[in-house]
Amino acid sequence: MARDIYETDQNLSHRYVSLARKIGMRHKIPVGGEFCRKCNTVFLLGKTAKKRVGKNKMVCFVCLKCGAVRRKGFGKKG
Ligand SMILES: [Zn+2]
């Protein structure tokens, strides 16, 4: 959802994500995508984020806006 909104209105997307974050604190966000914890940007590969795979196949998303690195997967520490 947030991804679709992002295409039309970036600001709205930010609001949506920040809202989703508040709700998503208890419920895992079903959007199926990651977003930046730091600036709430929805990670769109090639647009707002780039995917990075380490040697151990650890997948990370790097926010192109603030440079924060987000590891793939929710609910797991680290
Ligand atoms: Zn960011």
Q: What digits encode the pLDDT tens for the residues 7-43? A: 666 676 777 777 777 766 555 544 556 788 889 888 8
Residue that has been written with the tokens 């690195």 in this structure: 69
Confirm whether 78 is domain-assigned. Answer: no
Name the residue range of residue 46's domain. Answer: 2-71
Q: Which of 20-24, 46-50, 66-70 has the lowest mean pLDDT?
A: 20-24
Q: Looking at the domain assignment, is residue 15 inside a domain?
A: yes
Q: Is residue 77 part of a domain?
A: no
- Kindly give the distance from the C-alpha atom of residue 63 to the centroid of ligand 1, in angstroms, as a whole number: 5
Total structural domains within the chain:
1
Place of tokens 């949506």: 16
- Name the residue among 6, 1, 16 with its Cα closest to residue 47: 6
- 56 CA to middle of ligand 1, Å? 24
Q: Give residue 48 CA to ligand 1 midpoint distance, Å.
A: 8
- Rounded Cα distance between 44 and 5, Å, is 12
Give the Cβ contact number of residue 66 at 10 Å.
Answer: 12
Residue 74's pLDDT is 46
What is the pLDDT at residue 8? 65
Most distant CA pair in the chain, distance: 37
Q: How far is the CA of 57 from the centre of ligand 1 (A)?
A: 22
Say if 50 falls within a structural domain. yes
**Domain for residue 60, yes or no?**
yes
What separation in Å is there between the alpha carbon of 72 and the centre of ligand 1? 14
